[in-house]
Structure 1
């Protein structure tokens, strides 16, 4: 469910106050680091855990469950080292 847009002001230093309900929806609290970007002329704000969750979901389309990319990379490097 998409939250309804709200009007907010930009204050000194370019700071934007995110309404409390939106912070709760995003799961962010004071002191958290968030990711911001501009997408097609719109400002997007994402929590780091949410961004990681999305990245993992994208990777899962290409990497089967239970396959560790780090383990595969290490094994590949060992095979290359043995050939040298």
Structure 2
């Protein structure tokens, strides 16, 4: 169960009476909640591979389109 905590004027961490939704300090979670959250948002190998391929593909496509535009401009200039 998550608990709202605040740091008091002496520097100690104290449990607050605020609910977690209204907490203005720190929210402490149990180890089970932490692991559940970390496991949910942990990157998978397929997700990392997909992101790499999309990023690499975008660089190749943008590079090709840029080079094509430069080639067309070069041909137009040579015809003048």
TM-score range, shorter chain: 0.3 to 0.5
**TM-score, with length taken from structure 1:** 0.33
Q: Which structure's residues are more often strand, by fraction? A: 1
Q: Which structure's residues are more often helix, by fraction? A: 2
